[in-house]
Amino acid sequence: MMWTMIAYFIAPLGIAVWALLMTGWKPLHSISRAVVGLTVSIGPMKVSLAMFIALFSAIVWSWETIHLYFFETDGKSTTLGYHTDQQLMKKWRNERNWWILNFNLLLWLTNWRACSLLSRPEDKSQ
């Protein structure tokens, strides 16, 4: 369920926000700023939607990295040294999830930074 939500909702939302930011048209910038500027409250802490998704992606990315590089290489192969289909399937899924999280993390950090750069007042003295 979590991977379905990330792959089919959070990542496409990030791509849409990024596309709106890159258009260069002020009305579309305001829409993307509204999405990125939404706040999420977790107890006393308030963060923007983009930072919440980036933090969530970073935490899950760390978990997937540990599973991918430390738990999956513990030598559970067959007597001839080959991995079974089930082990290869599990490794493939972990790698897929890791790449989805890499993309999602980079996308939302880029959206957050681009939105903050584009919302600065322009210096007309130059």
pTM value is: 0.82
Mapped onto helix, strand or coil, the DSSP state of residue 125 is coil
Query: Rounded CA gap, 85 and 68, in Å?
Result: 16
Tens digit of pLDDT for each residue in 52-103?
A: 999 999 999 999 898 888 766 555 555 666 677 887 888 888 899 899 999 9
Tens digit of pLDDT for each residue in 1-49?
A: 788 898 899 999 999 999 999 998 889 989 999 999 999 998 999 999 9
* Interaxial angle between packed helices 26-36 and 49-66, expressed in degrees from 0 to 180 and rounded to the nearest 10: 60
- What percentage of the chain reaches a pLDDT higher than 70? 87
Query: Rounded CA gap, 37 and 30, in Å?
Result: 10
> Alpha helix (H) ranges present in 6-84?
11-22, 26-36, 49-66
pLDDT value at residue 42: 86
**β-bridge mates for residue 39, sequence order:** 48
